[in-house]
Structure 1
Amino acid sequence: MSPTVTRTPAATRRRIQDDPATHRSRNLLLVLIALCAAVTAANIYLAAPLLPLIAHDFGSTPSAVAWIASVAQFGYAAGLLFFAPLGDRVNRRRLVAVLSLVTAVALIAGAAATGAAALAAAVLVASAATVVPQLLIPLVAARAPADRRARHVAAVIAGLFTGIVAARVLGGLAGQAFGWRAVFVGAAVLTTVLGLLTAAALPAEEPRTREGHLFAGLTAMPGLVRRSPELWRACVRQAGMYGAWSALWTSLALLLTDGSYGLSTATAGLFGLFGLAASVVAPLAGGLVDRFGAANTVRGAYLLAAVSVPLFWLGGHVLAALFVAAIVIHAALVTSHVANQTLALTTTSAPATANSAYVVAGFAGGATASALAGLAFASFGWGGVVAVAGAWLLLGWSTTAGRRRPAGQGTR
């Protein structure tokens, strides 16, 4: 027997959506979710700017503890695979609250760590549990008015990118002033407060499905991507875009601190402020998606990224070109991300699982491209890095452009 579903007439739904009180309540919740996304996303990158302070405290060298930052990435990848798909199967309020508390406890444990191994274990757990933004974005997409869906998703993405920039820039400044352990404790407090507030404010909802075991979403990912050409296309195109960005951005410090420019590590780190371009562009990108559609917006983002590639090559010798290229690639990345993620969230009946597949694909593309860029820089210098970025963009676009959509479906 199937449960009885009560449907609200379309006219009534429109009146509810247009009601000023409903509109204010939705906007307040959106602001809270964006703040929560900023704080939780920052936890993934918390250790990176603090590595010199951590090394000094442990009587080591920064290069000897640099692997701790990589552990955070692996932890986040594990969280995306195991926890993010649960949004389709369990109560999201409880899941957000539990993961926020687990993250906070892990951060406190990290602050109390007396060695690199203990700190790495704490960072691994905290990063795996800090996938809260990827639980909230599908909810935002599902509850937003159809004509403003991408703009609502973009608001959360803007918060996420702001948190990443804050972790890299403000985290290092706070660590210098108060010590790296105080930064971990502060992050734990913020995560607890905003995580629990957000969980309490989330609307009551029933899970979309209870079929299968708890982690059935993980095993369902490959089949879901195969059955949905739109989801597959979003995954591959974002993997190409994120890979190009990662190749350039992870190698940029090598260019800035070697003989070409000879900048200090601290000065080179200020290039992270260009990430704020993503926070500014995200709302604009949401408006473009709502007006022109996701596919057209992704095309524009790829063209923008293609323009950035020769600018980055020129930036190997001209610093001003590097400034412009950094802004352009961030604008392209976030525009593509807003469009592709909106597409991923609306193309299947299991948005949390689809979103997890999408984010994992982007992460895999970025990690692979970063590894190749490091080898390319060692062998061919900055020109090799730029070549890897260009190849990733070409692969991301040409692979999907060559795949035909099943009969009966619309154009790309």
Structure 2
Amino acid sequence: MPPATPVREARAVSRETAGPVSRLFLPLIALCTAVTVANVYLAASLLPLIAEDFGSTASGVAWIASVAQLGYALGLLFFAPLGDSFSRRRMVGVLSLVTGAALFVGAVSGGTHVLAAAVLVASAVTVVPQLLVPLVAERAPAHHRARHVAAVVAGLFLGIVAARVLGGVLGQAFGWRAVFAGAAVLTALTGVVTSFVLPVERRRREGPLFAGLAAMPGLVRRSPGLWRACVRQAGMYGAWSAIWTSLALLLTNSSYGLSTATAGLFGLFGLTASAVAPLAGGLVDRFGAAKVVAVSYLLAAVSVLLFWLGGHAMAALCAAAVLVHAALVASQVANQTQVLTTTTAPATANTAYVVSAFAGGALASAAAGPAYGHGGWGAVCAVAGAWLLLCWTATAVRRRASAGAVPQV
């Protein structure tokens, strides 16, 4: 009999603990994912109010939003891989409580540096969704695995939209400190309740504490399917980020002349992702991840063309916003499902995947700013299209090379 792996042990425990409470498993995980991921984007939606409170300008405190992104990246690298070695039930409870405490410190902070430190900690330990996605994939029946992953992905995008849209609205009504305090309570409560629904896992750590982080590069090299999913989602997320981070500049300039608040309502198009995720999950279960990713890239390419036309046509801009979110979430469900079934270290593989997508988004959005300054909206669309083409071509070329290689015996 082969030695037990963390994945096999988790599935065995899942069968033992299945009961009436298991009906709450998927809904609670989706809710916990939405609540938790919103914390990464909370500060960005409240920057004008934070600036006013501390007697600064929005541009003077904008770096706090960057600190949140940095914290999340660090958390992905150091905490998410621990899901292969430690009980995720305990980790979800502890990390949620720490996140809540950090957000509360931010709510009562007296200066930007204390607030930034609190945001950094809160964002670093808010990696709970990336612990829950592999767990959902392990427990799901094989023929419904993508549908279950899609439910968590829907919660992920719903949380991002809620932070960007509701964060500003609630902050305007009650103040940014009240929003931080409310998020602290909601995160801690949701995380603790969710942890009680998760299966009991008996895992023994082998090797150094951060062995998963050290093993990540080798894991990607040895797993062509994982590498392909990482690069393709980096391309998809990069194209989306390039356009979405520059969209407010287009909407508020002379072409449209919208206010910042009105332009922010375009974030509601992110709800498309939550609606498309269940459909994408069913398509992946039926037709396979590769076909869904290919169609997603085609939809993204069409959306880039529509965004370019949307430089002077609002109807094209709205259609593109719907299409690009549909492409992004379908690709996310398909690629992430493939990642979680590619190796026997799902948490480490998932971390590599999310970090790759995050890096792709950061690089493309960094290129989009100068592109807009030099060539306007058309240059931003060119960056997005080139990013899609580059990442798809890179994976297609490597796949053909691997298929033509002579196996070593």
**Do both proteins adopt the same fold according to a TM-score greater than 0.5, normalized to the shorter chain?**
yes
Gapped regions of structure 1 (runs ≥ 5)? none
Return the offset for 1:93.
Answer: 1.2
**Counterparts of 1:206 and 1:239 in 2: how far apart (Å)?**
34
For 1:241, the equivalent position in structure 2 comes to 236
State the Cα deviation string for residues 283-319 of structure 1 (Å, max 9, x = none): 0000000000000100010010011011000000001
Determine if the alignment matches structure 1 residue 287 to structure 2 residue 261.
Answer: no
For 1:382, the equivalent position in structure 2 comes to 377
**Counterparts of 1:262 and 1:70 in 2: how far apart (Å)?**
27
Name the amino acid aligned to 1:94.
R
Alignment of 1:283-362 (within 5 A): 283-362=278-357
State the Cα deviation string for residues 128-187 of structure 1 (Å, max 9, x = none): 000000000000001100000000000001011101100111111111111000000000
Determine if the alignment matches structure 1 residue 41 to structure 2 residue 37.
Answer: yes
State the Cα deviation string for residues 303-351 of structure 1 (Å, max 9, x = none): 1001101100000000110000000000000000000000111000100
For 1:125, the equivalent position in structure 2 comes to 121
User: Conserved in 1, the CA contact under 8 Å of 2:21 and 2:197?
Assistant: no
Which of 71, 84, 97 is equivalent to 2:67? 71
**Counterparts of 2:271 and 2:363 in 1: how far apart (Å)?**
25
Return the offset for 1:210.
Answer: 2.2
For 1:229, the equivalent position in structure 2 comes to 224
**Counterparts of 2:103 and 2:172 in 1: how far apart (Å)?**
18
For 1:368, the equivalent position in structure 2 comes to 363
Name the amino acid aligned to 2:185.
V
Name the amino acid aligned to 2:282.
G
**Counterparts of 2:142 and 2:4 in 1: how far apart (Å)?**
25
Return the offset for 1:82.
Answer: 0.3
**Counterparts of 2:3 and 2:306 in 1: how far apart (Å)?**
58
For 1:159, the equivalent position in structure 2 comes to 155
**Counterparts of 1:212 and 1:300 in 2: how far apart (Å)?**
41
Which of 200, 205, 218 is equivalent to 1:210? 205
State the Cα deviation string for residues 358-411 of structure 1 (Å, max 9, x = none): 0000000000000000010001000110000000100111000001375699xx
Q: What is the SS of the residue equivalent to 2:306? A: helix
**Counterparts of 2:280 and 2:218 in 1: how far apart (Å)?**
30
**Counterparts of 1:41 and 1:202 in 2: how far apart (Å)?**
19
Name the amino acid aligned to 2:75.
G
CA-atom RMSD in angstroms: 2.0
- Return 89-98 or 71-80, whichever deviates more: 89-98
Determine if the alignment matches structure 1 residue 395 to structure 2 residue 393.
Answer: no
For 1:260, the equivalent position in structure 2 comes to 255
Count of residues paired in the alignment: 397
Change (3 A) 1:281 1:2: closer
Q: Percent identity?
A: 73
For 1:105, the equivalent position in structure 2 comes to 101
Change (3 A) 1:3 1:321: closer
* TM, length-normalised to structure 1: 0.93
**Counterparts of 2:236 and 2:292 in 1: how far apart (Å)?**
13
Return the offset for 1:22.
Answer: 5.4
**Counterparts of 2:322 and 2:3 in 1: how far apart (Å)?**
51
Return the offset for 1:25.
Answer: 4.7
Determine if the alignment matches structure 1 residue 192 to structure 2 residue 177.
Answer: no
**Counterparts of 1:183 and 1:297 in 2: how far apart (Å)?**
38
Q: What is the SS of the residue equivalent to 1:90? A: coil
Return the offset for 1:116.
Answer: 1.1
State the Cα deviation string for residues 176-220 of structure 1 (Å, max 9, x = none): 11100000000000001110011111011233x622111110111
**Counterparts of 1:22 and 1:296 in 2: how far apart (Å)?**
33
Change (3 A) 1:374 1:4: closer
